[in-house]
Structures are given as structure tokens and as C-alpha cells.
Amino acid sequence: MAKPMEQYKWHELNAGCVIDEPGSASEYKTGSWRVQKPVWDDSKCIKCGVCWMFCPDAAIYQKKDGYFEANLDYCKGCGICARECWPCAITMVEG
Amino acid sequence: MNNKNKKGIEVSIALSESVKLCRFEAISAYPITPQTHIVEHLSELVAEGELAAEFITIESEHSALSACIGASAAGARTFTSTSSQGLELMHEILFIASGLRMPIVMAVANRALSAPLSIWNDHGDVMAARDAGWIQIFCENGQEAVDSIIIATRFAEDRRVLLPVMVNLDGFILSHVVEPIEFPAQESVDAFLPSYDPLYTLHPDRPLTMGAYALPELYTEARYAQENALINSKDVINEVMGEFGKKFGREYRVVESYNCEKADTVFVAMGSMNENIMTAIDELKSRGKEAGLVKIRLFRPFPSEELAEVLSGKKRIIVIDRAMPGGAMNGPVFSEISSLAKIRGLDAILSNFILGLGGRDVVPEAFIDIYNESMARTSTFVKAAKTNYRIVGVRE
């Protein structure tokens, strides 16, 4: 998006609201929807990547040291990662 | 017009031949009475290699229009056709086609809605879809149906329009009659109708998104843009009809009139019954009475300027509807006309008659009775009645 969506006038929209700029959804930060965020306990994490696989928003990434973290610009705090983490390394906390 | 160039042909078949002349590239339709002959003939034309189109067979009208949207999004000139229950099964997809600005052309063989089940004609089906954002044309005869497909294809694809179009023809009464019809030459249609040049297409080389989610911050602007396109399409429709008249010698206008110059009492109607109304007007004339007919050929966008012009100064306006109001104060055409009359300050006595439902025969004499009844009225509002319309011929 060239500008925030609340600034678009009706005649500035493409016909049929076609989005002709691929990947522009990444500009829309959905992290503000969140109530809770996942926090990893790296002493329990076995780097299996289950959290990364299950995250429906692809908001979890692997750090250089192999452990995981959520990108809080996009993490909506759904808690699926914490539910699926079988070594129980993820806790959902407010924030 | 030279009669030698005319061919006696069933209107459904003629309409399909017109689709062939327009070189449609994708067709998806599900057969339903009384549209069946259109879709059958189109599938024959494709199977026999006479029309180089992809014919997508599907299991329902919902899927047919969905397939059409896909084809149109991929850049194909796309046609479909349906009727009655089929149109209602398409209902949610109708709004998507117009919202995505897909210039799909659809012939609707108008038929009553169930229940009770009826295969016969009225306008109940299209009136239930009248606010779906489609351009809507109503045809009076077979020649109009053939020409309207060509005209509709041209303005639908115009970059200033990019909207789907319904070409309405009365089921059986018009779709199944054999009429003498003049077909334009393929070269003339090709010259009038260049191949479709879409604004956006789904193509892997240039990724884009169609049908994205709109948050409250954008939905109003998106729908306003669509509404503006629909309202402004009328200018393009007028322009294309004018150009068609010059090239093919048959003049069409969004609103047409018959004997309106002298008459201060006029009928307002749509579709094939216009021919019967004209017969009734001729009969009235022979009895020394003057009545006119205003034909609404374009129902959406509603041609308010053109109607205000022709209705201005008239003393009595008799609006004929071919659909039940469904709890509304009046039939759908009357509601538009009464709104127009108020907004434009037309000082006429308005009356609303509903007839021809579910295939009930409409004869010219009915309009003479309606004329006489309207002449006796002293106001638009009928105080004694709960409703302000009359169902013609209902047994009470």
C-alpha cells in the first residue's frame, strides 16, 4: 500500500478493488489484535520447529542460534504454538 | 429494413447465434426451462467447432456463474444464461461478479419463482436480483434480444464500465417464439466489437489479488466506486446504442416511447408486453382516445433523466409491473416511477397494475380496461385499499 488504507479516496481504488501489488498484506500489521504473546523457555526448547509449522500467520521465525521467536508485528496471540509445543517450552503471557 | 435478409428463427436460437457472432470465448451455464434452448444451442455450436469457446459444464447455476467469474478474471469474453430458480441460486455470486467488475453477459429468460412451482413467465426472478449491481436490459422482441447481446458485450467491456449485464427476455412468450430476424454480418460485428482487452487478468507472470477482504476503513469507498461505475455506465450505454444504430441501422435507446407526443396518459412498462400495449394504444386511437407508451429498456442503472423528460407534463402515468411487490407498497417499477415523480415534481396521477404473473396471458384488451380504469381515478392514493396497486384479473 502506498498509504494507510483509511487515507484512500474512492476514485483512487483499482476497479474491482484489485490489488496489483503482490505481497502488500505484509504492510498491514495485525499484532495489535493480540492480548497474549508467546514466550519461549529456551532451556526446554528442542528446536523441533513444531511452533513454526503450526503458526497460522507465519509469524514465528527461527533465530540464528536455532531457537524460535514470534514477530510481534503479526502475532495475533492465538496460542496455537503454545498448545502444540510438546516439550511445553512456550507460555502465553499478557502483552 | 430489407425482408430478404431476415430469417425465421426461434428467438432462443437467434440469441445463441448472436453469442457466436460476438465470439464469446468462455461459456458456463446450467440448463433450466425456459432458457434451455439457448444453452443447448450454444453447446452444439461449441461441440461442432462453430464457436471457438470453452464450454464449462457444471452441476448448478451457483457453479456456472462462479466458473464464469474465473473465466472472466482470466481475460475471456464470458457468457452465461439462466432463468428463475437458477438466477436465485446464482444470487450471492451475482454480487461478486459486479463487485469484481467482471463484464460477463447473461441472458435471463424471465420466469416466475416457486412456490408454487411455475415454469411460465413473469419478472419475479429478475426483480429479486435487481439491486445486484448488474446492468439490466429488457427486450421487447427477438431482434432486440439479438442486437442487445452485441450492444451489451460492447459496453460491458468498455474500460469506463467493466460491469456484468443481464439481457432479459420474457420466458416462452419471447424466448420460444419464431420471429423474422436480421443477423448482422460477422465482419460488421467484428468491426463493432473488438476482442476483449481486460484491465486486469489472473496470470502467473503478474501476480495480483482479486476479491480481497475490505476492512471497514475501505468498504464504503469500494462500494461507492462500484456504484459510480454503474451510474456512469448509462452514458456509455447511450453512446454504444447510438453507434450501433449508425452501423447497423436499428436504433435503440435506454428509454423509448410510442405515441407519447399527443397523449397525456401514458403507460410505463418493460419487456415483450410492450407490443400488446402498442396494439391497445392503436385500438384506443381508433376509438378517438390517445394513450402513449414509455418503454424502459434499461432498468439498471435506472434512466431517470430520460424518463423525467418523456414523462414531464403527462397527466396520468399507468405503471405496469409483472412481479408481486413482496410486501412493498407497490410493484418494483412503480416504486421507481413514483420516486422519480416526487423528486422531479411531476404532477401526474399515478396508478399501478400488476399482471401476467406465472404465465397468465396478457391480451391487448386488458390494457384498454386498465386505461379506462385509470381515466376514472382522481388521485394516486387509493384511500379505501390497504395496497395502492391492483392485480389485474385476479378472481376475488
Q: What is the pLDDT of residues B8-23, one digit of tens each?
A: 999 999 999 999 999 9
pLDDT value of residue B2: 55
Among chain A residues, CA nearest to B210: A18
B203's CB contacts (< 8 A; 6+ apart) are B74, B75
- Candidates B325, B308, B319, B324; CA nearest to B270 is B319
Q: Are residues B239 and B216 in the same domain?
A: yes
Q: Residues B73, B201: contact at Cβ < 8 Å? A: yes
B382 vs B378: which has the higher pLDDT: B378
pLDDT value of residue B228: 98
Per-residue confidence band for B242, with pLDDT thresholds at 50, 70 and 90? very high
Does position B1 have pLDDT exceeding 60, yes or no? no
The CATH number assigned to the domain holding B321 equals: 3.40.50.920
In angstroms, the CA B133 to CA B129 distance is 9
Q: Are residues B166 and B313 in the same domain?
A: no
pLDDT value of residue B179: 97
- Comparing CB atoms, the residue among B199, B206, B218 nearest residue A8 is B218
- Candidates A3, A5, A28; CA nearest to B222 is A5
- Cell numbers 396497486 correspond to B389
pLDDT value of residue B386: 82
| Percentage above 90 pLDDT, chain A | 83
Q: Are residues B28 and B48 in the same domain?
A: yes
Q: Are residues B166 and B272 in the same domain?
A: no
Is A1 touching B (CB cutoff 8 A)? no
Does position B3 have pLDDT exceeding 80, yes or no? no
Does position B190 have pLDDT exceeding 80, yes or no? yes
Looking at B248, B281, B296, the residue that finishes a domain is: B248
Q: Considering only CB atoms, which chain B residues are within 8 Å of A3?
A: none
Overall residue count recorded for chain B in this entry: 396
A5–B99: do the CB atoms touch at under 8 Å?
Answer: no
Q: Where are the domains of chain A?
A: 30-94
Q: Are residues B211 and B265 in the same domain?
A: no
- Candidates A50, A87, A47, A39; CA nearest to A64 is A47
Sign of the alpha-carbon torsion through B326, B345, B294, B264: positive
Does position A12 have pLDDT exceeding 90, yes or no? yes
Interface list for chain B against chain A, based on CB atoms closer than 8 Å: 99-102, 162, 199-200, 206-210, 212, 214-215, 217-218, 220-222, 224-225, 228-229
Q: Are residues B280 and B175 in the same domain?
A: no
CATH domain A30-94 topology? Alpha-Beta Plaits (3.30.70)
Q: What is the mean pLDDT of residues B27-56?
A: 98
pLDDT value of residue A1: 60
Q: Considering only CB atoms, which chain A residues are within 8 Å of B210?
A: 16, 18
Domain that holds residue B117: 3-248
Q: Considering only CB atoms, which chain B residues are within 8 Å of A5?
A: 215, 217-218
Q: Considering only CB atoms, which chain B residues are within 8 Å of A8?
A: 218, 221
In angstroms, the CA B23 to CA B105 distance is 12
The CATH number assigned to the domain holding B108 equals: 3.40.50.970
B5 to A36, B180, B182, B183: CA distances (angstroms)? 76, 9, 6, 8
A10–B221: do the CB atoms touch at under 8 Å?
Answer: yes
pLDDT digit string (tens) for A36-65? Answer: 999 999 999 999 999 999 999 999 999 999
Q: Residues B179, B143: contact at Cβ < 8 Å? A: yes
pLDDT digit string (tens) for B129-142? Answer: 999 999 999 999 99
Q: pTM of whole model > 0.90?
A: yes
Q: Which of B104, B162, B163, B208 to mutate to test the interface with A (most CBs of A within 10 A)?
A: B208
Q: Are residues B154 and B52 in the same domain?
A: yes
DSSP state at residue B199: S
Does position B4 have pLDDT exceeding 80, yes or no? no
Is A32 touching B (CB cutoff 8 A)? no
Overall domain count for chain B: 2
Q: What is the mean pLDDT of residues B83-112?
A: 98
Q: Are residues B203 and B297 in the same domain?
A: no
Q: Are residues B285 and B142 in the same domain?
A: no
pLDDT value of residue B383: 78
Say if B84 falls within a structural domain.
yes
Q: What is the mean pLDDT of residues B54-72?
A: 98
Say if B59 falls within a structural domain.
yes
Q: Are residues B222 and B306 in the same domain?
A: no
Q: What is the mean pLDDT of residues B210-239?
A: 96
Looking at B248, B275, B299, the residue that finishes a domain is: B248
pLDDT value of residue A26: 86
pLDDT value of residue A25: 83
Q: Which residues pair with A94 in a beta bridge?
A: A36
Q: Are residues B195 and B279 in the same domain?
A: no
In angstroms, the CA A23 to CA A12 distance is 19
Does position B145 have pLDDT exceeding 90, yes or no? yes
Q: Are residues B212 and B276 in the same domain?
A: no
- Comparing CB atoms, the residue among B162, B206, B222 nearest residue A17 is B222
State the nearest Cα–Cα gap between A54 and chain B, in angstroms. Answer: 23
Q: Considering only CB atoms, which chain B residues are within 8 Å of A17?
A: 99, 212, 214, 218, 222, 225
Q: Considering only CB atoms, which chain A residues are within 8 Å of B221?
A: 8-10, 13
